[in-house]
């Protein structure tokens, strides 16, 4: 059973069908040579396991991550969606990364992404962050122009509030939102609710936050309180014969039908663990305990 068949599918933008359990490529190193070869192997194994949604971005190595995925997977299987993000750039003066939503920068990054991914059209392009120094209408307007030019098929946003999502939807059709969200971190519940109401795909990044104990500065586990998320998640995992990470991903899949988790890893073992989460079934009593963590 593949990730797609076990977790079900979702139609992004109403027409682009992908498996609900995806893969975030951010952690894949593009070098040196031995690390790059391992990254290529992980990306290929993800597709072998049935993953049909892979997330990358210009920020990840200044496009090096996009080139890595093309090396690993091109020519792409027909069912595979590689989504990328633009809107974060490195300063030529300081070398520091920062938000940059100027239309000319967005257009340039899209052109680079097309070349690096070896495609004529990006099926799903997401604005990595809204640049507060540039009017929102200018940013999404530039993306809409790229869509009208045929370089982009569907548009998404990342790390937005419910209000920002509503304003953007007045200007463009929003097909996806990528916000930080997990069983242990539900700051963006209102955004998820808005996506669910509108049928917008919600791609949580850091989807397993809270599944394992945090470490303090010295590297020792933090004991936390008696209801620390990882304690509850760990107890459920033991009852199911699963891992805490698998329980965290299974909760996301059960929490809302518009949720498409994109866990990332650079290790084959962790990848297979993540994909196997699609087969974990949470009983109502488990869901009740995990849902209660929001309080």
DSSP letter string, 13-64 = TTTEEEESS-EE-TT----SHHHHHHHHHHHHHHHHTT--EEE--TTTTTTH
* Rounded distance between C-alpha atoms, residue 259 and residue 253, angstroms: 6
Nearest to 185 by CA among 97, 255, 99: 255
User: What's the first-to-final CA gap in the chain, in angstroms?
Assistant: 35
What is the token pair recorded at 165?
């999502």
Nearest to 188 by CA among 204, 168, 212, 172: 204
- All residues at 6 or more sequence positions from 289 whose CB lies less than 8 Å from its CB, including other chains: 232, 235, 236
Strand partners, 97: 90
| Catalytic pick among 60, 74, 76, 181 | 60
Residues 83 and 53: beta-carbon distance below 8 Å? yes
Residue 60 is a catalytic residue: yes
DSSP letter string, 194-221 = HHHHHT-EE--BSTTTTSS--B-TTSPB
Cβ atoms within 10 Å, residue 280: 23
* Rounded distance between C-alpha atoms, residue 167 and residue 163, angstroms: 6
- All residues at 6 or more sequence positions from 93 whose CB lies less than 8 Å from its CB, including other chains: none
What is the token pair recorded at 274?
């993540």
Catalytic residue numbers read 60
């Amino acid at each position: 059973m593949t990730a797609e068949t076990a977790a079900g599918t979702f139609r992004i933008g109403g027409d682009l069908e992908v498996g609900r359990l995806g893969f975030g490529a951010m952690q894949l190193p593009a070098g040196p040579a031995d690390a790059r070869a391992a990254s290529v192997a992980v990306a290929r194994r993800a597709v072998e396991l049935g993953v049909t949604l892979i997330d990358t971005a210009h920020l990840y190595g200044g496009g090096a991550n996009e080139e890595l995925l093309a090396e690993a997977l091109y020519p792409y299987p027909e069912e595979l969606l590689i989504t990328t993000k633009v809107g974060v750039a490195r300063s030529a003066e300081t070398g520091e990364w920062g938000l940059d939503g100027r239309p000319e920068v967005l257009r340039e990054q899209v052109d680079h992404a097309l070349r690096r991914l070896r495609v004529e059209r990006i099926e799903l392009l997401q604005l990595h962050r809204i640049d507060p120094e540039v009017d929102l209408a200018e940013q999404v307007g530039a993306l809409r122009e790229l869509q009208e030019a045929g370089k982009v098929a569907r548009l998404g946003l990342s790390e937005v509030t419910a209000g920002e999502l509503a304003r953007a939807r007045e200007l463009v059709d929003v097909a996806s939102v990528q916000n930080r969200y997990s069983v242990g971190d539900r700051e963006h519940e209102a955004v998820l609710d808005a996506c669910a109401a509108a049928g917008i795909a919600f791609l949580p990044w850091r989807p397993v936050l809270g599944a394992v104990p945090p470490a303090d500065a010295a590297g020792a586990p933090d004991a936390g309180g008696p209801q620390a998320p990882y304690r509850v998640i760990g107890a459920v995992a033991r009852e199911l014969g699963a891992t805490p990470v698998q329980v965290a991903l299974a909760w996301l899949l059960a929490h809302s039908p518009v949720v498409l988790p994109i866990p990332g890893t650079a290790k084959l073992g962790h990848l297979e663990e993540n994909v196997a989460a699609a087969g974990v079934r949470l009983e109502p009593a488990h869901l009740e305990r995990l849902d209660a963590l929001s309080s």
